[in-house]
Structure 1
């Protein structure tokens, strides 16, 4: 087992700066300045970037092979301590970078102080954030894939089940239940595309930018980018250290996912009420009332809906933080991690719960199809007249008169006698009776994206292809 040197008093007050200061930091400022509660989770990314930077220093002639090897192995020892929760924070620790360097110096002595040669926490932290972001995007895409899978599974199981389609929360046209459910999957599909695009666009290495002016010590940034899996390097050091657009973009993507989850949750909450009774949320994703014994509340969905506001507030927070900063790095940017990590964590919780809700919910076919009403045939009746050669605007007007007549008499439009229909429009014939079949009418909507079985089958194919792509990229 590797022996770790005991830290002396000088290590306990280890700082990455301070030579020009004659007074210790104010305690209130020191507490405010401490970002460890947020950035400690970057420890692995910081160690990965530090290992690569040690190798880059060796390639540039600032370390020999033995020194580089010792630094790399010591960084792995530190990783072990983090994983096993053996790392102890000191009052003087400001951030994860301070902790890792303090531990490295404790293991390697003066050699550990050479690792920071030509590197600043400015380019160090933005590199760490980009390394973390790659993993966060991968995990978010994996969760999105599971949710889309659960939606596809429920849609396949209930193919052919009819329900009212709504606009303005008013009954509009008959659709398949699968068509409605898949509409949410296609919103999530766009979220996947946004995240994948962000992953490619943000995969640019900032390390080697120094504090503001760049690196003068012959560091091969192209090699460093390849070593860390980046596709390119940043083109301007001042922009690189102050850039948090990728954080904004990620929180925006999280916000969009949360908005889509909120809309799905809202639909499910409405459809689970006794007034609709289209679906039943499993007991494991419901809760009861402390007063009313009969209650089954969809708390899981309400929490998803509420979390959406929290995630979106993080987007507003990071944008307002950046808005007020001058160019390059400013300490305001320390809060990027708080906004970013909370958005990721809360979205992860929401996605996990949403998967469970969709997988376990019961679909009440009888209730869905009992909610269909003949007034929802009005559009198909208008199309019937169109097929008879009546211009759509006139057909729309004629069917509107039929609906009004039926309402006045308190009957369905299918109960209006043929003779009276013909008085409204001579194009009506006895074959109008065939347009009273909801299932038949639904199958007519076979254009790409429609609610016919053929169209839904194609939608399922597209989503299954997306599933394969996400599996390959994970």
Structure 2
């Protein structure tokens, strides 16, 4: 058992206690961040004269060797070590001797792990934003291709008014756009570097914390050492953002599942993103969409776990905070996997345009426009509403749409109807005369798509995409 703190103890830790306390099996994910932080730390220590340049160079060379061997598989991170920090330091001492024992000067595992987690989270924020950028481009492409693809819009899962596929997809573009904006805020808020906070009260060594912060890509050091080691707000904010992303993916997945059903047939999911049944040969199941929807619960669980862990912790560091990692790592990977897989599924979906248009026409989605037509002819709205309601009732009995009625039949309900009614309630007219900002009309959608393109151009300036 490789430990960094044995001097005060007179007997070995019980193996069960050691295993329960150890974090190596999950915090090994922070290996690269730990090495990066150590490089910055020893570079700073040499600059202020706490260690010599020769010792700095020995340590940096040792860290380079350890990193190369881990990446090649020549060196394994095993449960022999308590955590990733002890793994790096123990191997460094084995390789370079006494100089390696100076790596931890002016540093605690408390500020070390605070740094590692912040660096890792920052990288994950950026990679999640990159995945969302790709998904937004996919959605934008569908919008451009389907500006005039008529479909029914729904409220209460009932057909309401005619819209277009572009308009419907635009709603999800706005959702994921807000997600990117949330990530940009979280990314910008992680500008303080906790390294140098020590265990909780700083250190007596003359550390140049500003230098360390700059070397690690931060703007300034944290301004309170107790907060520096115990802050996980940024992680809670990121998990909250991940929950919202996953909620949006789940809503979208629910619609994909509905649209893919035999009753709707609005879309066909590509074979590469579907599975079959072991017993029913006719089945083509939307498993990816269902799994994305199902995995939302585990992402929510990570946020609630961390909020619950943090709610009763006094200042400063407590071992409870070791629980910030496993479920957070899982949530980060889950959401990125879901975005990538959903993006792939969405980009290969085939829209059954004729089925969608027919569904809109046969669902009385033009009833509101028919009532508006009567209002424009001088009929009071409440009367117009009642007249169209009676017409819809008659159409349901006959199994026809409103525009299947003859002018003579329509005039039996109101003399205000004239030949222009049929153009007024065509699906194309119903959609394209809606020209207020945010509506589905053709010209408005062109403007909206341009605004979406402008947003996409500005995404990279908020992140560090590789």
TM range (shorter): over 0.9
Cα contact 1:374–1:414 (8 A) shared by 2: no
Shift of 1:296: 0.6
Question: Which residue among 158, 168, 178 is the counterpart of 1:180?
Answer: 168
Cα contact 2:243–2:296 (8 A) shared by 1: yes
Shift of 1:465: 2.5
Shift of 1:436: 2.2
- Within the alignment, does 1:299 sit opposite 2:287 as a pair? yes
Shift of 1:57: 1.2
- Within the alignment, does 1:17 sit opposite 2:5 as a pair? yes
Distance 1:338 1:135 in 2: 17
| Counterpart residue number, 1:452 | 441
Distance 2:280 2:398 in 1: 42
Judge which range, 334-343 or 459-468, deviates more: 459-468
- Where does 1:20-31 land on structure 2 (aligned, <5 Å)? 20-31=8-19
- Within the alignment, does 1:153 sit opposite 2:141 as a pair? yes
| Counterpart residue number, 1:336 | 324
Shift of 1:364: 0.8
| Counterpart residue number, 2:184 | 196
Shift of 1:300: 1.1
Question: Which residue among 55, 58, 68 is the counterpart of 1:80?
Answer: 68
Shift of 1:36: 1.4
Distance 2:259 2:119 in 1: 42
Other structure's SS at 1:264 match: helix
| Counterpart residue number, 2:450 | 461
- Within the alignment, does 1:366 sit opposite 2:354 as a pair? yes
Shift of 1:75: 1.2
Structure 1, unpaired ranges of 5+: 1-12
- Within the alignment, does 1:320 sit opposite 2:320 as a pair? no
Cα contact 1:250–1:340 (8 A) shared by 2: no
Judge which range, 242-251 or 432-441, deviates more: 432-441
C-alpha offsets along residues 398-437 of structure 1, whole Å, 9 cap, x if unaligned?
Answer: 5334434544666543456667766866654443232121
- Within the alignment, does 1:442 sit opposite 2:409 as a pair? no
- Where does 1:214-225 land on structure 2 (aligned, <5 Å)? 214-225=202-213
Distance 2:164 2:418 in 1: 28
Other structure's SS at 1:192 match: helix
Tell me: CA distance 1:293–1:217, structure 2 relative to 1, closer, same or farther (3 Å).
same
| Counterpart residue number, 1:3 | none
Tell me: CA distance 1:340–1:400, structure 2 relative to 1, closer, same or farther (3 Å).
same
Cα contact 2:243–2:299 (8 A) shared by 1: yes
Distance 1:185 1:417 in 2: 41
| Counterpart residue number, 1:354 | 342
Cα contact 1:377–1:435 (8 A) shared by 2: no
| Counterpart residue number, 2:256 | 268
Distance 1:108 1:253 in 2: 43
Distance 2:159 2:314 in 1: 53
Distance 1:243 1:361 in 2: 43
C-alpha offsets along residues 266-308 of structure 1, whole Å, 9 cap, x if unaligned?
Answer: 1011101111111101111111111111111111111111111
- Within the alignment, does 1:139 sit opposite 2:127 as a pair? yes
Distance 2:82 2:241 in 1: 30
Other structure's SS at 2:159 match: strand
| Counterpart residue number, 2:239 | 251
| Counterpart residue number, 1:103 | 91
Other structure's SS at 2:251 match: helix
TM-score, with structure 2 as normaliser: 0.93
Other structure's SS at 1:376 match: coil
Structure 2, unpaired ranges of 5+: none
Distance 2:76 2:251 in 1: 44
Question: Which residue among 294, 299, 308 is the counterpart of 1:311?
Answer: 299
Cα contact 1:242–1:329 (8 A) shared by 2: yes
Other structure's SS at 1:291 match: coil
Distance 1:121 1:213 in 2: 13
Cα contact 1:46–1:124 (8 A) shared by 2: yes
TM-score, with structure 1 as normaliser: 0.92
Shift of 1:32: 1.4
Other structure's SS at 1:163 match: strand
Cα contact 1:60–1:217 (8 A) shared by 2: no
Cα contact 1:105–1:113 (8 A) shared by 2: yes
Cα contact 2:24–2:78 (8 A) shared by 1: no
Tell me: CA distance 1:89–1:352, structure 2 relative to 1, closer, same or farther (3 Å).
closer
Question: Which residue among 65, 74, 77 is the counterpart of 2:53?
Answer: 65
- Within the alignment, does 1:54 sit opposite 2:81 as a pair? no
Distance 2:145 2:405 in 1: 37
| Counterpart residue number, 2:100 | 112
Shift of 1:356: 1.2
Cα contact 1:238–1:327 (8 A) shared by 2: yes
Judge which range, 423-432 or 299-308, deviates more: 423-432
Cα contact 2:70–2:77 (8 A) shared by 1: no
Distance 2:385 2:211 in 1: 67
Shift of 1:14: 3.6
Tell me: CA distance 1:214–1:393, structure 2 relative to 1, closer, same or farther (3 Å).
farther
Tell me: CA distance 1:21–1:280, structure 2 relative to 1, closer, same or farther (3 Å).
same
Distance 2:333 2:210 in 1: 33
